[in-house]
Structure 1
């Protein structure tokens, strides 16, 4: 009897915080990957962008001496992956979770609000790792041969990009209706991919517009990754722009995010 009572008592205890966060991250990751629309956004479109930029001459005027089209394309496509997962994907999912009361329910469980946010961030990191492997593997198959130090150096940079865009996405998802969140995030994704300094340097834009776009997290992220892979250098100014977006977006999210 005592053994049965002890077993029942142990099974009734709440899981530890790391276990709860890991379970939430697993749920968030599976939800993002299994959703057909999100799979298109997270995987298919970045791969199509990589192939399209490689087989056309769109990036030829931006290629440094000795660099291939893949060398120029991959950094931008990796940033596009982060925007897809951290900004659009997680933002849309959070917006509809909020609409259907999922956020309000989960915030009252032992997971708590902090655990819920931690689970979302962990899920984004997992999805980003999968995207990196798929994009990097596809590019390697096509002939991409990056410097190992550049690959290792890109990881913390992409994490900074993810933190900044997650903050912006959560802010939109937590202050607007789900339908508006869906429309805005998809529209912004297209705008940033086309003219936000992600796939193409801002030098293609007119002077004053280029200056304004340089202040966006998308342009800062694109410049940061291109400097890392193409020049093997750390770009300070884009890092400061991204850090500012990360701090301000998360501060605004903490202040104005609505759980219902």
Structure 2
């Protein structure tokens, strides 16, 4: 009987590769001060200010925390992902990772899982803060299921748009554009304020945007209602944005 000590190197199972890389992606995002600012610090500040003083300017305390949740989800799945991926392209990180057993599909899946994990953490933290400030939504199970479907579609849409931007623009241009879009959407995209708060001429356009669709869905859920129209809007945007990302994204 002989003992075979010859090398038998092999990559880890696909699920293990994806899980480990998703953990790495999430930890890198959380270590980045700018991304942490967008993900939690700014939303918490807006939430506290809105719940304490928003009544003076007509903000609804039942639905405003839901608007802040929409803003936080948007910032993580679009702004943070676009900036991080753009600088990974610039420094050749993606090019080197593709040469490892971690395939391109594995990389995209790991990034998606990392974004989903951070989004879940954001919802938990902001939910606790909002609860401490007196927020008590009372949705039904069916309404919550509609909300979960809308959030998943929105995260997919925003992430695909982020990859499309990061795959075409230089890192510095992506940094500037992603932050500019974040501010524009926060101020006038129907995320923080209901679509009805905007001029009548702008409302049809806002109803067609995915940011407003997510905000409207969250606010409707917080108020104890269900509206299928934003869900349909998000479904269309998801299909279109995935197609765009597939065509536009470049790894190097």
Q: Secondary structure at the match of 1:146?
A: coil
* Structure-2 residue corresponding to 1:219: 212
SS in structure 1 opposite 2:208? coil
Normalised TM-score (structure 2): 0.93
Paired residue for 1:252?
244
State how far apart, in whole Å, the 1-side matches of 2:229 and 2:2 are: 64
Q: How far off its partner does 1:149 sit?
A: 3.5
- In the alignment, is the contact (CA less than 8 A) between 2:26 and 2:114 conserved in 1? yes
The verdict on how the C-alpha distance between 1:14 and 1:199 changes in structure 2, with shifts beyond 3 A counting, is same
Aligned to 2:41: 44
In 2, distance between residues paired with 1:183 and 1:212? 24
| Cα distance change, pair 100–207 in 1 and its aligned pair in 2 (3 A) | same
What is the CA distance between 1:105 and its match in structure 2? 1.4
Question: Paired residue for 1:156?
Answer: 149
1:240 and 2:232 are equivalent in the alignment: yes
- Equivalent in 114, 122, 129 of residue 105 of structure 2: 114
Given that 1:78 and 1:135 are in contact with CA atoms closer than 8 Å, whether structure 2 keeps it comes out as: yes
Aligned residues: 250
Where 1:5 maps in the other structure, the secondary structure is coil
CA contact (8 A) 1:59 1:73 kept: no
Q: What TM-score does the superposition give when structure 1 sets the normalisation length?
A: 0.90
Q: Which residue of 1 aligns with 2:163?
A: 170
User: Once the two structures are superposed, what CA deviation does each residue of 1:142-180 show, in whole Å capped at 9, x if it has no partner?
Assistant: 112222636843333222211111111111111111111
Task: String of CA shifts for 1:190-235, please: whole Å, max 9, x gaps.
Answer: 11111110010122221221221221111111111111221331x2
Query: 1:3-82, aligned counterparts within 5 Å?
Result: 5=5, 9=8, 12-57=9-54, 61=58, 63=60, 69=61, 71-82=62-73
> Which protein has the bigger helix share?
1
CA distance in 1, matches of 2:45, 2:122: 13
C-alpha distance in structure 2 between counterparts of 1:144 and 1:123, whole Å: 28
Distance 1:53 1:113, change over 3 A: same
1:100 matched to which residue of 2?
Answer: 91
Q: Identify unmatched segments of 5+ residues in structure 2.
A: none
- In structure 2, relative to structure 1, the CA distance for the partners of 1:59 and 1:132 (3 Å cut) is farther
Specify every segment of 5 or more residues in structure 1 that has no aligned partner in the other structure, as ranges: 64-68
C-alpha displacement at 1:60, in angstroms?
6.2
Q: For the structure 1 residues 3 and 251, does the alpha-carbon distance in structure 2 shift closer, same or farther, using more than 3 Å as the test?
A: farther
Query: Is the Cα–Cα contact under 8 Å of residues 69 and 126 in structure 2 kept in the other structure?
Result: yes
- Return the match for 2:125 from 127, 130, 134: 134
RMSD: 2.0
Q: Indicate how the Cα distance of structure 1 residues 124 and 2 shifts in structure 2: closer, same or farther if over 3 A, else same.
A: farther
